[in-house]
Amino acid sequence: MKKLLLMLVLIVPLSGYASEFHTSNEFLMYYNDITGNGKNQSSLTDGFNYMDTLNLYGSDERDGLKYNYNLGLKFTDDRRNDVKNVSITNLNGSFNKDDHSLSLGDIFESFSQYTLASSLKGAEYKFKKDGSRIPEVTAVFGYPYPRWDSVWKDPKTVVTKRQVYGTRIHEDLGDLNLGLNYLKANDVKVVNDTTKYDSKNYSFDMDYIIMPGLTLNGEYAKSDYDEKISATSEKGDAYRMEIVGDADPSRVSIEYENIDPDYLSLLGSAVSDRKKIKTKWTYKYSKLKTFNTGLLWYRDNLDGQKTATTYSLRPEFSMSVKKIIPSRPYSYANFSYKFDRKYGNNSEKDHYFNVNYRDKLNEIDNDTNLGYTLYKTDSVRDASEINFNTSFNTRLESSDCVYTPQLNLGSWYSNDELANQTDKIYEYSLGLGYEKPASNITADIRFGQNFLRKEVGDDSDKLFASLNVYYRTTVMNLDSTVFLRAGYNNYNFSTDSNDFREKSISLGFNTAF
């Protein structure tokens, strides 16, 4: 809390000197009443609680120095919402002068796929001289903490202290972009004794426009790491190459990737022990018809150390058609099929079929979806699923009011041949939206039921209803919105001891300038 007050003392006075300053705030007070023998299954917190989110932003320029800052705070006493009463959601300050820039706080710099593709809490320096062939240089230092509380080692949010620093050198040669990357990650202190890494990643990436509509991009990377708990050291390589052709009426991409079993990227994106080939082709047959095809193939056990190799093959196809019914200008349909085939330790053959249809019937919009999935894994799974949902909505205007009624219907059917079980879900909901622009009022109400029927386990019936009302006004000459939200959920199970009910009501307002 002392650290938070210090930040406010330092940042808030700057708002008086900023040429641009904005703030937004939303305050919410809510009450939940949870009853029934199964109330411990509820995801809500019983009783009165509050939550407030505050965001500050400012920017200015003085003597050639441009700077901006932002601070986000959350206040709440609801432990299901946050483990802390006060927490920092974002904190950043950026400074720029001539060819130099410095960012402190939340850093969202991405070097390359195999090195750095994660946010940090720390510092970033960048040198970039526009109109020059001098390479752009970026350096970062920080920690990949998920929360600011972890920075000062709060016991409730403590995580592994992983220190990170690295640099990227980037050269833009017009049609050719080149990058060199280095990243060092060291686990200074871990919260468990499972793993403790000290790793380095090096990579070279490029992006080359061969000709208009034809692009080549790729990356080659090496990793070198020590895992101190198991006292192991490994080195590995990773590389990928993709060529993309994009010229009407087609767009084609072909990608090849090979990642060694011993390649480790703690802050990048890489699946070790994988060789992959991926292709996609989009073809606009006409203004009304588009075809999409794709193929993904990959395998593991690249070093032959596993007892068996798993191969995966995933072809897919889809077709979308506008005006599928010529007499209906808003009619649209999409058909898709995907086959997921794995073989190795277990043979897996999964089929995914889906049909979507959208149309406008007079003034009523309709969206209908039907899916069928067949799962087959040798001696493990033999099941099928059918999923259906449809919605109808329209917009009705009367004098100075607008009404938007909506009807949703859905069902799900699952049949497990090996377990000899069949499960079903049926659901419907009715909704009505309301707008009165002259009075700055919007509202919506919804009511529905959900029925789950299981051959093994609890059946359940759920009754749900919600009401939301928003009123736009001014508070202290600031544009604001006052809102009221109410909800009701009634869960009934075939085992009576699991029944529970939730009643909730929320009152709040948000404002910004």
How long is the chain?
513
First CA to last CA distance, the chain: 26
DSSP-assigned letters across all residues of 428-473: EEEEEEEEEGGGTEEEEEEEEEEEEEESSS--EEEEEEEEEEEEEE
Q: Give residue 153's pLDDT.
A: 84
Mean pLDDT of the region 109-129: 94
Asked if residues 181 and 165 have their Cβ atoms less than 8 Å apart, the reply is: no
What's the Cα-to-Cα distance from 265 to each of 121, 218, 309, rounded to whole Å? 18, 17, 23
**Per-residue b or e along 38-61, where b marks 16 or more CB atoms closer than 10 Å to that residue's CB:** bbeebebbeeebebebbbbbbbbe
Q: Give residue 237's pLDDT.
A: 97
The letter for the amino acid at 370 is: L
| Tokens 């406008």, located at residue | 360
Q: Residue 3 and residue 10: Cα distance in Å, rounded?
A: 11
Tell me the pTM.
0.87
Mean pLDDT of all residues belonging to the chain: 93
pLDDT, one tens digit per residue, over 63-85 is 889 999 999 999 999 999 999 99
pLDDT, one tens digit per residue, over 353-374 is 999 999 998 899 999 999 999 9
Residue 168, token pair as written in the block: 């990227």
Bridge partners for 348 per DSSP: 342, 377
Q: Where are the domains of the chain?
A: 1-83, 98-247, 273-394, 405-483+503-513
Mean pLDDT of the region 190-213: 94
Looking from the CA of 142 toward its CB, the CA atoms found within 13 Å total 26
3-state secondary structure of 413: strand
pLDDT at 149 over 50: yes
Looking from the CA of 294 toward its CB, the CA atoms found within 13 Å total 16
pLDDT at 18 over 90: no
Mean pLDDT of the region 36-61: 94
pLDDT, one tens digit per residue, over 330-345 is 999 999 999 999 988 7
The candidate with the shortest Cα–Cα distance to 373, out of 312, 414, 335, 422, is 414
